[in-house]
Amino acid sequence: MADFGADTDLEAFRQEARTWLEANFPPTLKSKAGLAASEVRVEDPDLNKWRKAIGAKGWATPTWPAEYGGGGLSPQQARVLSQEMNRVGAFNPLMFGMGITMVGPTIMDYGTDDQKKKHLPPIIRGEVQWCIGYSEPNAGSDLAALQTKAVDNGEGWTINGSKIWTSGAQYSDWCGALVRTDPSAKKHEGISFMLIDMHQPGIEVRPIPLIAGASPFCETFFTDAKAPRDALLGQLNVGWTVGKRLLQHERASQTGAGGGGAAPTPLQEVAKQYVGVDGQGRLADSDLRTRLSKHLMDARVHSLTLARAMAEAKGNNNPGNAASVLKNSMTSVAQTRSELTLEIYGHQGLGWSGEAFKADEIESVRSWLFGKAMSIYGGSSEIQNNIISKRILGLPDTTQST
C-alpha cells in the first residue's frame, strides 16, 4: 500500500478500501457480525476466509504499527475504512476478541521488544485467542484481594489458584492474568501481570451456563501451571498498574469506538413495520414515538461525544477517564434499544425458538437477556460512576474510613 502522509488523499484511500473490500469480503457474510461475536467457534468457510484476509491485510487492527503486521493507518483513514465496511455490510471478525481490544494494546504499552514480536503478529492475524484472568471467587470488585499466586521456581513461575468469569477461556490459547507474587506486600503492591499459555495440563477450564443460552463465562483453575520467566508483562510486583491500563483499554473498546461493524437496521424502521403508522406517516403509538425519539437522540449524543473524545485524544495513545463516561452511556443506549426492540416486536418478541418466530426476533430476546451484563462487565456502572466522581469531577472520596 502507498505511504500516506499528512497530505493524505482520503478519497484515494476510500477507493482503495472499497476495491479491496469488494474483492475480499464474502457477500454471504453481509450483516452477519453475530457469527464472529459468537462465543462458540463457528467453522464457517467464508468467515474463516474473511478472517484470514483482513488479518493478513492488517486492517483488523488498522491503526496498529505496520512493523508487527498492523494496518499502519491514520485515524482518518481508519474512519474511512469503517465507513466503507459499513457500506457493504462488512464487519471486523477479530474485534470481538480480547487480544485486539485489551491484551494487544497493553503489550504495546508495557511489553519488551521480544514480547511484542512474539505476541502481536498472531493477534493481528487472528491466529490466537486470549482470555483475561482477573476476578476470583473472593476477589470481584475488590480485585486487589486476589489470591492466585505465582512463585519463582528458579526457571520461571509456578502458578496456583483460580479465576472466575474468564470469558472465552474454553477457546483461548493464552491468558493475561493478574497473580500475587509477593504475599507480604500491601495488597495492591504485590501483584504482577503474567502472559500464560493455556495449552498445558496444569490448567482446567469449566464453562458456566447462562440463561441466555451459549455462555462466554468460565471458571479457570491453575494447579502447578507453568510460565517462563519472560511471561512477566511489565515490572515484578507492579502488575496493578498494568492491570488498570488493560481495563482502560477494555472500557474504551466498550464505548462503540471499535468501528468496523455492520450498522443495524434503524429501530424506527423496525417500529414502522411492527407497530404501523398513522395517516401522517408517523408511528401510530405516540408514547412509543416519544420514547423512541429520545433514544435516538441519546444514541446520537453518545456518537458525537465519542467522536469528540477521539479527536481530543489524537496523538495520545493512552485511554483516559472519559472511557468511563462513554462506557456508561454506551450501556444505557444499548440496553434501552434492547428494551424498545422487544416492546416493538410485541408477542413476536417473546419467542425462544420455533418456526413461528424469525431469526431476528429470537436473537432480540437472547440479546436482551445477555445485554443485562453490560452494566456489570468491564467494571460495573457503579464503579464507573466512582471513577467519574473522583477523577473527572474531583469529588471527595467518601468510601474510605478516616
Look at residue 157 in the predicted model and tell me its pLDDT.
97
pLDDT class of 371 with cuts at 50, 70, 90: confident
Higher-pLDDT residue of 1 and 93 is 93
| pLDDT band at residue 49 using 50, 70 and 90 as cut-offs | very high
- CB contact at 8 A, 108 and 118: no
pLDDT for position 302: 86
The alpha helices in 266-317, defined as continuous H runs, are: 267-275, 286-312
- Mean pLDDT score of the chain: 85
Least Cα distance to 179 among 198, 195, 168 occurs for 195
- Under DSSP, is residue 199 helix (H, G, I), strand (E, B) or coil? coil
| Residue 61 falls inside a structural domain | yes
Boundary residue ending a domain (196, 223, 238) = 238
Half-sphere exposure of 355 (CA within 13 A, CB side): 0
Helices 45-57 and 10-24 cross at an angle (nearest 10°) of 150
Fill in the amino acid letter for 199. H
Residue 194 pLDDT class (50, 70, 90 cuts):
very high
For residue 39, tell me if it sits in a domain: yes
Phi-psi region of 89 (alpha: psi -120 to 50; beta: other; left: phi over 0): left
CA 51 to chain centre: 17
Query: Residue 185 half-sphere exposure, CB side, CA atoms within 13 Å?
Result: 19
Is residue 21 situated within a structural domain? yes
Structural domain harbouring 23: 10-96
Of the two residues 252 and 136, the one the predictor is more confident about is 136
Q: Which residues are catalytic?
A: 250
Domain-located, residue 3: no
Spatial CB neighbours of 236, under 8 Å, sequence gap ≥ 6: 181, 192
Among 76-80, 121-125, 144-148, 262-266, the least confident range: 262-266
Residue 40 within a domain: yes
Number of domains in the chain: 3
Distance of CA 55 to the CA centre of its chain: 17
Rounded Cα gap, residues 100 and 58, in angstroms: 12
Assess if residue 369 is contained within a domain. Answer: yes
> 3-state DSSP call for residue 149?
strand
pTM for the complete prediction?
A: 0.74
Burial class (CB in 10 A: 0-12, 13-18, 19+), 266: exposed
Mean pLDDT, residues 270-293 taken together: 91
**pLDDT greater than 80 at residue 7:** no
Say what the pLDDT of residue 368 is: 87
Q: What is the pLDDT of residue 2?
A: 41
User: What integer is the mean pLDDT of 349-363?
Assistant: 86
Residues 233, 270 share a domain: no
Contacts made by residues 43-50, CB under 8 angstroms, sequence distance 24+: 47/93, 50/24, 50/25, 50/26, 50/93
347 and 296 belong to one structural domain: yes
Domain boundary among 74, 96, 118: 96
What pLDDT score was predicted for residue 399?
60
Domain check: are 270 and 205 in the same one? Answer: no
Q: In terms of domains, do 229 and 285 share one? A: no
Closest CA to 120 of 194, 51, 179, 60: 60
| pLDDT higher than threshold 60 for residue 348 | yes
Instruction: Express each pLDDT in 31-48 by its tens digit.
Output: 676 656 554 455 788 989
- Asked if 181 and 253 count as a contact pair (C-beta separation under 8 A), the reply is no
82 lies in some domain: yes
CATH number of the domain at 319, please: 1.20.140.10
In the predicted structure, residue 164 carries a pLDDT above the cut 70: yes
Q: What is the mean pLDDT of residues 243-262?
A: 66
* Residues 90 and 162 grouped into a single domain: no
Residues 272 and 383 in one domain: yes
Confidence of residue 250 (pLDDT cuts 50, 70, 90): confident
pLDDT interval class at 261 (50, 70, 90):
very low
**Closest-CA residue to 130 (of 156, 105, 158, 167):** 167
Verify that 136 and 18 share a domain, yes or no.
Answer: no
Q: Is 273 in the same domain as 367?
A: yes
Both 307 and 366 in a single domain? yes
DSSP string computed for 365-396: HHHHHHHGGGGTTTS-HHHHHHHIIIIIS---
70 plus 133 within the same structural domain: no
**Is residue 49 in some structural domain?**
yes
Q: What is the pLDDT of residues 224-240, one digit of tens each?
A: 999 999 999 999 999 99
Tell me the β-bridge partners of 174. 130, 197
Instruction: CATH number of the domain at 214, please.
Output: 2.40.110.10
Which pLDDT tens digit goes with each residue over 290-342? Answer: 999 999 999 889 888 877 776 665 555 555 567 678 888 888 998 999 999 99
Residue 294 and residue 357 in one domain: yes
Q: What is the pLDDT of residue 132?
A: 95
Three-state DSSP class for residue 266: coil
What number is the average pLDDT over the span 355-363?
A: 86
Whether 249 contacts 102, CB under 8 Å: yes
**In the chain, pLDDT over 70 holds for what percent of residues?**
86
Same domain? For 386 and 309 the reply is yes
